[in-house]
Every structure is written in C-alpha cells, then in structure tokens.
Amino acid sequence: MGSLEGKVTLVTGASRGIGKGIAIGLGEEGATVYITGRSLDSSNVTEGVSGSLRETQLAVQDAGGICIPVMVDHSDDQQVRLLFERIQDEQKGQLDLLVNNAFSGVQALKEGYEKPFWECVDNLWDAVNDVGLRSHYIASVFAARLMIQRQQGLICTISSWGGMSYIFGAAYGAGKAACDRLAADMAVELKPYNVASLSIWPGIVGTEHISSLALQMGEDKPRNQQSQVISQGYNWETPLLTGRVIAALAADRTVMRFTGRVRVVAELAEHYGLFDKDGLRPVSLRSLRFIAPMFWPLLIKYASLIPNINIPWFLLLWGILQSPKI
C-alpha cells in the first residue's frame, strides 16, 4: 500500500518535464493524480516539443497511481475555475496536494538567451510570468478554498535558484523570486488552517528543454568551465527525484514545520532517504561537492571524495550568489 493511497493530488503543467516526473512520483505512492496541460495527445502537441497528458497518464498508471488528465490553459482563469469545480464534484471536496508547476515561457527564454532584457521581445515578461507566476496564484486561490474546509493540505510551488541569483535574465529572476515570496506569504495566511505552503527548488534537471539548452551552452562557450561542466551533465537530476520528494512531503504528518520556507530537492532527498531514478542521489547546488568541480572541472572524477557539506546561505549570498544586498 502506497503512502498516498486515498490522497487526491493535482499537478499543473504535467505533459512533460518536471511536471511529468512529479506526477509519476505521486503515482508510485498510489495517489490519485489530476494532471493539466494544453496537449491531451500527440495530435495537439504545442511548442513543437514531445509529451502529452495521455503519455503522462500511462506512466502514472504504470507506476501504480490513478491519473486523470484534464486539458487546461492556465492563462484562462475560467478553465482553471472549472478544473477545481470538477475536482470538488468528483472527489467530494477533497484535495490534499496542489503542485504549481505550469510554465509557458521556455520558448521565449530560449529566443532571448544571452540577450539583455531591452533587446528581448516586448511580451517576454508576460510569456514568462503569466503562466508561471500569476497562474500559480490563481490555482492556489481555488485549492485553498477546498483545503481549508478540511483543515489540511499542502501547496508546493516549483521555483528555482533563479529567485536568488541571475540565471535566465531579469524577467525570469523576478518571477522566481516572486514565486518564493508567494509561497511564504500564503503560508502565513494558511497556517491557522493547518495547510502548508512551500517553495521547491530542483537542481539541474535533465528535461528535454534543459538538455537542449546545456548542449547549446557547451557549443557557444567552449572555454567557459562552468558551461562545460553543466553540458557534461554533472550532478543532474531527473524529474522523478522532484516527484519522489514531493510525495514524501505529502505523506509527512509533520510537514507544517517546513511551511513558508524554500526547500531544495536534493537536500530533502537526503533528509527522507530517497534516490533518483538511476539509484543515485545528486547533491544540493550549494554543496561543496557540486561547487568545487564547477570551478575546478578536473575534480569531477574525484567528486565522491569531496565532502557533501552545504555552504551556509549567508556565505553564498556574500560571495557566489547575486541576491539583492541590503
């Protein structure tokens, strides 16, 4: 019997990538998983990339879960409203977990790669932060209305290290920092109702898009050590690791101790004793085991000998990371 059997969960943006991995991770533990996306099957795939809700549904069912695909464009509030009304009717008001993962800005980010914000298309902000920030708020509104009635629930908002340091530009960084703040402030208002809200930071996840971008980085910057280490796939995670971590959070009866905080996938995996799809456990991006080879690539072959010690946040902010200074 899985730890999430009888639990009702929702993962937005689950046609592919991290969302698909999260849905499978929940399915492994026997959850009922609603998944959303704009591509129900291969006949209506968008953005020219593979992946559909039907494919994710089959993968979740193979893992042991119950999967219900729903076509939703998260830029349309009415479609989101109807989604939650359906969950309310079909599950008698039960929703134990919402994972805010929908994101529609990948193509815009790729087109603006290494361009300053003033040279990017005028709608870059909306492309990155309409479905990817605003949509998370709207979904959380509807989810909270269900969860507070039952005095329990968990909302996980997928964010990234871009909320603390420059990665893909101004629009992306502002959006991810806002996701972190959204999760934290929702936690304040949800705490009296025993509903937790967390911001989740995966590491370098080998999705279709990231793999393509890493290859491009390696070709464009052959002399850049960091780009070469990343393009080699060092310390990459698969989407399933994020899924297994969120499944563990959803099954944790003491999850309220984490509410309002940013949690790193690799660090939670170590906390819960979880491993990735390949049986390995990647380290946190603030671990000495990751940081040292980034600056001295020759250390990759000796990575297992480097202590897995997480650098304190205040030291990272003082040095490597570029978070705003007060």
**Gap between the Cα atoms of 115 and 98, Å rounded:** 34
**Gap between the Cα atoms of 53 and 230, Å rounded:** 29
On the 0-12 / 13-18 / 19+ scale of CB atoms within 10 A, 5 is: middle
Catalytically annotated residue among 34, 113, 137, 172: 172
Residue 64 CA, chain-centre distance (Å), reads: 22
- Minimal CA–CA distance to 210: which of 233, 228, 191, 187? 233
**Gap between the Cα atoms of 139 and 18, Å rounded:** 18
Residue 12 CA, chain-centre distance (Å), reads: 10
Return the exposure string of 160-176: e unless at least 16 CB atoms fall within 10 Å of the residue's CB, then b: bbbbbbeebbebbbbbb
Helix (H) / strand (E) element for 234: namely none
Whether the CB-CB separation of 236 and 282 falls below 8 Å is answered with yes
Helix (H) / strand (E) element for 195: namely strand 195-201
Is 137 among the residues known to form the active site? no
Whether the CB-CB separation of 27 and 67 falls below 8 Å is answered with yes
Q: Which residues contact 124 (CB under 8 A, 6 or more apart)?
A: 105, 108, 112, 117, 169, 171
Active site residues per annotation: 172
